[in-house]
Structure 1
Amino acid sequence: MTERSVAGRSVPEGLRAFLATESGSTSVLLAATVAGLVWANLPFGDSYDAFWRTALAVRLGDGGFSLDLKDWVNDGLMTLFFFVVGLEISREIRVGQLRDRRVVAVPFVAALGGMVLPAAVYALVNAGGPGGAGWGVPMASDTAFVLGLLAVIGTRCPEPLRAFLLTLAVVDDVGAILVVAVFYTDDLSVPALLLALALFAAIAASRWLRLWRPPAYVLLGLAVWGAVLESGIHPTLAGIVLGATVVVYAPRDAQFLRAGELVQALSREPSPELAREATRSVQQTVSINERLQLRLHPWTSYVIVPIFALANAGVVLDGRTLREAATSRVTLGIVLGLLAGKFAGIALGTWLPLRLNWGVLPGNLVWGQLLGGAAVSGIGFTVSLFITDLAFADDPGLQSQAKIGIICGSLLAAGLGWLVFRLAWDRGAACAPPDAEPVPEAERAPLPPPSPDDHAVGPPDAAVTLVEYGDFECPYCGRAYWVLDDLLERYGGSVRFVFRHFPLREVHPHAVPAAVVSEAASDHGLFWEMYGTLFGNQLALTDADLTGYAASLGVNPWEDLERHRARVNADREGGERAGVGATPTFFINGNLYEGPYDLESFAAAIDAALDDATTEGDT
């Protein structure tokens, strides 16, 4: 049975860049984590703590302050990381997905469930114990590791799920910072806090007065950070608040026109003054928020967060430490919180707003995908280590047990997520339009017979004909693509494979253009080359991407557009008459195939069809 959800908007291009940076930085973060663990367990492992406890002072005359290297990383560099998080939050609220209440409602409630339930599980396990202060450790997901794992999962994880989890991660990050600020602040200095508020008011006033002087904002921002640090509140709160105040706006037509006029004037009469004015005008078509994200996000993803992991992941894994962790309620609470608490909290938080019709999901997500996303969200690392350092600052033993719990819980959550995605695929899930209803069997027309226009591989007189109605953006079709390749290699000339278009334009915005481009390639005898390219690049099917793929084959993708579109529509209409309502849908010798999409299940069905064909031939 096909599970359905309401279709939403496609993922904005800004999110594509964010996702690419996050997933690409995962390998660097993983390497830094392993390096920290190895360093702490080498024969000279004492140097790990000694190095990160080295003091570094900043002084001006008689004034200044001193922090050790680990605190500079946790209190200083991580403030810049959360500043970028604040930039992303501000952009999404003003011009991104968070503007739409119904789109943000489901991941918002899911994020709350994914924070509250893990904390409750941990608190229950550690009630009355020495580790009670660590209830905040299993609350946060690690966006970089989660998106990195989803990149490995590939087409099993559609892009709308990444958008859903990214929105969830934004809410998750805000909640984690509020927890740090409210519950992990020990000694509060009211004068320093008032100074921080006054400096923040100065920044807000400068923005209101439109005084755009970057050096002044940098100096004021550093002053706010120092004041918040002295106040006793963790300074990362300053980072996220400052990031949320940076100006963001959608580009305006007048700005584009002005920039274009200046560039044209510069091409006619080049001058330093005109070059400076044209440069400034072009820059202003994009908000300072997005320009800062472009510059800072690679630094935070590839440098700051890996350095944080290197400074905090080091834990001695000797026999005594592992024995203590195996019986520790802190370790058990974190593992259960990340593995079971996150999974159940996000699943329940997703089901509830959908059940009450509070919101919608992006794209045509099904429960197998959502539960897989809920499972991998149990990978808690960066912020979990961050809170560990605050919760158990005076107890190195509990810190070690907590870090072991974070590592074990994250690994188990990754394994659970992979298993859920695997099971969802093996059950033969499919994409379908919202509110699609199956055509009753009595009303189905016969499957359209083979025709010279069909895209087919294999001899026309093959004993078995396998017909697929597919969609180039459907993740399940992408999974089946690799299976079918192995299947055709196994059976050779005994099987003829026919691909027919069934683009789900209601849920896959790039499906129709991709199908049209494949038809343009077909005019040049290159359909199967384009077929492989499109299924190999399912997450990159924008018009620009499609134009590039066609150019690489020497094809004009948009030539004879109406004829190609009519060909695609004819395939879909024929499939609808035959009862097709979802992708992929397979027919074996004209009979609907309803089994899983794995190689052995397909092979068993084809073997049965071959036996039937042999029996009919004998009679």
Structure 2
Amino acid sequence: MIKKVLLTPFQKFIKLESLSGILLFGATILALIWANSPYGAEYEQLWQYEFGVSFNDFSLIKPLILWINDGLMAIFFFLIGLELKRELLVGEIDSIKKASFPLIAALGGVLAPVGLFLFLNQDPETAKGWGIPMATDIAFALAILGTLKSRVPLSLKIFLTAFAIIDDIAAVLIIAIFYSANINWFFILVGLLLIALLALVYHKRKFSLEIGLVIGTIVWFLFLKSGIHPTIAGVLLAFTVPIKRTLNIYEFSSNLNNISSKIVSITDDTYKHILTKDEMECIDNLDHLTSEVRSPLQHLEYQLHNLTAYFILPVFAFANAGVVLNTNSEINTSLMLYIAISLFAGKLIGVSLFSYLGVKLKLTELPSGINFKHIIGIASIAGVGFTMSIFIANLAFGNDAININSSKVGIIIGSLISGLVGVIILRLTSKKEGETNGS
């Protein structure tokens, strides 16, 4: 029973991420079809449509594509920040022992693709794309695992999730350090001071979503103008959100019984359109009680998961995956191939090799129910980089449409190969194990 209670939230998370991956795939296909149809020009014009706010000397007007990549994705990164904080404090990487295996695997999954890309690519103009093949798309990866259903152990999905979360930490750090330019340190300092002020308010007083939205918007704008990508503000702001509850579940249950008993005692059986003063007071007390028992971080994470999974990420994919693939398109073939190879071979070699060495050197141990064949399959699926890889490609090449499109094609090819090979490996592994068990 206890095991079931503990695993159910994680299983729901896997289901949500898997569906998100399916929506991402659908949005990608739609974008490719539209961009390569006779109405492809309209696709491009849609994302370049400019709008925003302007008054006196203040102006914030951006193309729709940048509102998505700088604005909506800041919410996605805020959610990543919430997940990172939860995992570091109470999750799958809340101790060195728990984090050691996915940590070493993730280290290989970052170093090998980057090293392979820099080895293959000798063009200084495209060298700044080295960060593109290092990221794993957790939604796509879990969606692929979801197609295997019960053929893979749950512990393998937990490993992939922990691995991808550590991978996200590396991606966030690399974006902040290497993909920011012309930095205005004054704006950053003011933004950091506001983040510290918000953390102090939450610590000394009480969590307030309204205060967080106001300060968060200001910090996002400061980071936008500072030269550091504004999505980093989302991650930093997430770490101010408290995880502790002001009321434990036992006190909640006791108070809930008291309120329930009072409602029963003051309410008759007749139906009324409006509540009495005493009934309204009980309902208000119930609302307050509910807010007190919730962890602000957990509640926000829960609320934002649907928004990001079912709206933000599919919109991002729809806006960014529409690459023109006809014969007249200019494609940097070398860059495309290097990214595809680095995603597939780099992740496969890096994750497998570092996982193997970690166990052999007794730095880590394999989670229960997992063998090295499973790890090789997961290492291949880790090459599905889609969302974060496209995001880094946009940062790396700015307005260079040829290299951005070449990167996107390479990402799509590398991700497809990685996913297909990973599924084949895991299916063959599961089949052999089933035959062995049956013999």
TM-score > 0.5 by shorter chain: yes
Letter in 1 for 2:69: N
CA distance in 2, matches of 1:196, 1:218: 14
Alpha carbons 2:181, 2:227 under 8 Å: kept = yes
1:266 aligns with 2:263: yes
Q: 2:388 corresponds to which residue?
A: 383
Match of 1:42 in 2: 37
Partner of 2:153: 158
Structure 1: distance between partners of 2:91 and 2:7: 8
Counterpart residue identity of residue 288, structure 2: R
1:290-337 superposed Cα distances (whole Å, 9 cap, x missing partner)? 111221111101100011001110111011438x45xx2211211111
- Does structure 1 residue 228 correspond to structure 2 residue 236? no
Matches for 1:140-219 after TM superposition, within 5 Å:
140-219=135-214
1:273 positional shift: 1.4
Distance 1:70 1:208 in 2: 37
| Contact persistence 2:155–2:370 (CA under 8 A) | yes
CA-to-partner distance for each residue in 1:419-443, whole Å, 9 max, x for gaps? 21132134x32xxxxxxxxxxxxxx
Per the alignment, residue 254 of structure 2 pairs with 257
Q: Distance in 1 between matches of 2:255 and 2:91?
A: 25
Q: Pick one of 304, 309, 319 that aligns with 1:296.
A: 304
2: CA distance, partners of 1:73 / 1:137: 19
What residue is the counterpart of 1:403 in the other structure? 408
Deviation at 1:262, TM superposition (A): 3.1
Runs of 4+ aligned residues of structure 1 deviating over 4 Å after TM superposition are: 8-11
Partner of 1:319: 327
The letter of the residue matching 1:257 is S
Q: Report the residue type matching 1:355 in the other structure.
A: K
Conserved in 1, the CA contact under 8 Å of 2:27 and 2:318? yes
Contact kept? 2:199, 2:241, Cα under 8 Å: no
| In 2, Cα distance between equivalents of 1:132 and 1:252 | 53
Correspondence for 2:287 among 279, 283, 290: 279
Matching of residues 500-579 of structure 1 within 5 Å: none
In 2: Cα distance, 1:359 partner to 1:197 partner: 36
Contact 2:195 2:240 (C-alpha < 8 Å) held by counterparts? no
1:342 deviation in Å?
0.4
Q: Deviations over 1:245-294 (max 9, x none)?
A: 21113755334433443334334346211211122213332301111122
Question: Contact 1:140–1:176 (CA<8 Å) still a contact in 2?
Answer: yes
Q: Distance in 2 between matches of 1:391 and 1:370?
A: 31
Per the TM alignment, residue 60 of structure 1 is displaced from its structure 2 partner at its CA by: 4.3
* 1:115-154 → structure 2 map (5 Å cutoff): 115-154=110-149
Determine the C-alpha separation between the residues in 1 that align with 2:213 and 2:58: 20
Indicate yes or no: 2:97 matched with 1:89: no
Q: 1:240 to 1:12 in 2, by over 3 A?
A: farther
Structure 2 residue identity aligned to 1:29:
L
What residue in structure 2 maps to residue 440 of structure 1? none
Larger Rg: 1
Matched length: 424
Note if contact 1:163-1:362 (Cα within 8 Å) is conserved in structure 2. no
Q: Where in structure 1 are there 5+ consecutive unaligned residues?
A: 1-7, 430-475, 481-583, 587-592, 594-619
Query: Following TM superposition, by how much is the alpha carbon of 1:207 offset from its aligned partner in structure 2, in angstroms?
Result: 1.2
CA deviations over 1:473-511 (Å, ceiling 9, x no partner): xxx4xxx7xxxxxxxxxxxxxxxxxxxxxxxxxxxxxxx
**CA distance in 2 between partners of 1:10 and 1:110 (Å):** 28
Q: Given that residues 11 and 159 in structure 1 are in contact (C-alpha distance below 8 angstroms), is that contact kept between their aligned partners in structure 2? A: no
Of structures 1 and 2, the one scoring higher in RCO (CA 8 A, sep 6+) is: 2
Which residue of the partner structure matches residue 105 of structure 1? 100
Q: What is the Cα-based RMSD across aligned positions, in Å?
A: 2.1
Hey, what does 2:342 align to over in structure 1?
A: 337
* Cross-structure match for 2:276: none
Task: Report SS of the residue matched to 2:59.
Answer: strand
Give the distance between the partners of 2:56 and 2:257, measured in 1 at CA: 51
How does the TM-score come out when normalised to structure 2?
0.91
Please give the secondary structure, in 2, of the residue aligned with 1:99. coil
- Distance in 1 (CA, whole Å) between partners of 2:176 and 2:146 is 33
Percentage identity across aligned positions? 33
User: Which one has the bigger helix percentage?
Assistant: 2
Deviation (angstroms), 1:356: 3.0
